[in-house]
Structure 1
Amino acid sequence: MTAQNLKKINQPIASEIAKLFELDEQGQVLLSAEMTPAEFIRVLIENEDYPDVVRFIAYALPKREATWWACLCARSCLSEHGKATDQKAIELAEAWVYKPTPEHCQPNYQAAEATAFKTPAGWAAMAAFWSGDNISPVKGNVVPPSADLPAKAVSGAVMLAAVQEGPEKIKERYQRFIQQGIDIAGGGDGRKI
């Protein structure tokens, strides 16, 4: 992995991205001032600091790509007998990714709420909702979301998805999801991982 293959990450210095969220203690130790995002991701993976890798990628990616990543991870948790609320939440979040308009953004809140905010799908929907321009439930009242909310929701979706199949699968799922995130950061769609 080289810096040039993470073309969706616009910040050339990892420490600038890491300022946007709180790294775990290990991540703080591993980060050096001039590291590129690719170098930092590589070091975090080598040290199996998967939660920091997830947060770092979620904050580094543009909102749309990050939300797509959350959708992919959440979709991996669906079974054929899964909850309809989760399926709906993912479908609405994906609709926003395909066409990021207010009309596709707003319904994501209700979809996330229907999941009781307890599933990866619900957090993927929240990432889409918080990526919009207005989080006010009152018509005509505009309340812009905080810039960090989409990345927080994406991190939550990916981390929840990683633990869905029990402790024996956590490492394997984190590794797969991180590779998807890296593929998306490189301009791919994350589906081939």
Structure 2
Amino acid sequence: MSGRFSKLTKIPTDPAAKLLAQTNVKLETPLDAPASASVEEVLTELDGKGANVDLLRLLSIALPPRERVWWACLAARDIVGPGVENETASLQAAEAWVFRPGDDTRGVAIDSMEHADKDDVTVHCAMSVMYSDGTLGTGDMAQVPAPPGGSSIAAFAMNIEAIATRTDDFDAYIQELIDRAVDIGRGGNGKRKEKGEGV
């Protein structure tokens, strides 16, 4: 193995096929790996086949809820830009939930979607928060199951929205999103160190 997908300490040790089945997601790329193959093994195979969309899809499923939402938030930041002056209510609420997960911050994220502009793609971040524990929300909604893989699908969608804005460096940016998820899966913050940004 190349090592690109090694040491993913935040990612479950369950076989990739099990995680995919739990979220009712199928990869478009035919796999040679057995059903027992780990996430690392399947990611490595997908990388070798140049299956970047499936790589992003599997990473969105394999990352735990907080890490997944943070990954989505970074993609949203790529679109809107850094700083408080650029953030949307949904992005702000999702980031707040990452740093202080709980019913209160989750409720704010859910509420932000109701007041978002219809063309605000950052609602995907808040939606990933809403479905983060496999339910439709807090209070009574905590008794209602979310769509299978809802949180992962929202995070994946946020990254796809970000890709759509990058026509000049499309391929390089996809690799950046993959490496960002891998860094988060290793316990990092997904931010490039050369930018001088700390954890």
Same fold by TM-score greater than 0.5: yes
CA distance in 2, matches of 1:49, 1:83: 36
| Equivalent in the alignment of 1:71 | 73
CA deviation after TM superposition for structure 1 residue 99, in Å = 0.8
Alignment deviations for residues 27-48 of structure 1 (CA, whole Å, 9 cap, x no partner):
2334433432112112212322
SS of the counterpart of 2:27?
A: coil
Asked if the contact 1:102/1:133 (under 8 Å) is kept, the reply is no
Cα 1:47–1:140 change in 2 (3 A) is closer
Asked if the contact 2:134/2:147 (under 8 Å) is kept, the reply is no
Q: Which runs of 5+ in 1 are unaligned?
A: none
Asked if the contact 2:134/2:148 (under 8 Å) is kept, the reply is no
CA distance in 1, matches of 2:35, 2:55: 17
Question: After the TM superposition, which parts of structure 1 deviate over 4 Å for at least 4 consecutive aligned residues?
Answer: 139-142
| Equivalent in the alignment of 1:103 | 104
AA partner of residue 73 (structure 1): A
Cα 1:45–1:90 change in 2 (3 A) is same
| Equivalent in the alignment of 2:43 | 41
Identity percentage over the alignment? 24
Alignment deviations for residues 61-106 of structure 1 (CA, whole Å, 9 cap, x no partner):
11111011100111111147x996x522211100011111111011
AA partner of residue 70 (structure 2): W
CA distance in 1, matches of 2:63, 2:100: 17
Cα 1:180–1:141 change in 2 (3 A) is closer
Asked if the contact 1:130/1:150 (under 8 Å) is kept, the reply is yes
The Cα RMSD (Å) is: 2.8
Match status 1:126 vs 2:114:
no
Asked if the contact 1:92/1:111 (under 8 Å) is kept, the reply is yes
Structure 1 stretch 51-60 or stretch 15-24: which is displaced more?
Answer: 15-24
CA distance in 1, matches of 2:140, 2:16: 39
Cα 1:53–1:2 change in 2 (3 A) is closer
Asked if the contact 1:117/1:123 (under 8 Å) is kept, the reply is no
Cα 1:16–1:92 change in 2 (3 A) is same
Cα 1:31–1:169 change in 2 (3 A) is farther
Asked if the contact 2:69/2:125 (under 8 Å) is kept, the reply is yes
CA deviation after TM superposition for structure 1 residue 54, in Å = 1.1
SS of the counterpart of 1:29?
A: coil
Asked if the contact 2:27/2:54 (under 8 Å) is kept, the reply is yes
CA distance in 2, matches of 1:141, 1:129: 10
| Equivalent in the alignment of 1:135 | 136
Matched length? 187
CA distance in 1, matches of 2:158, 2:113: 11
CA deviation after TM superposition for structure 1 residue 141, in Å = 5.6
Asked if the contact 2:96/2:105 (under 8 Å) is kept, the reply is yes
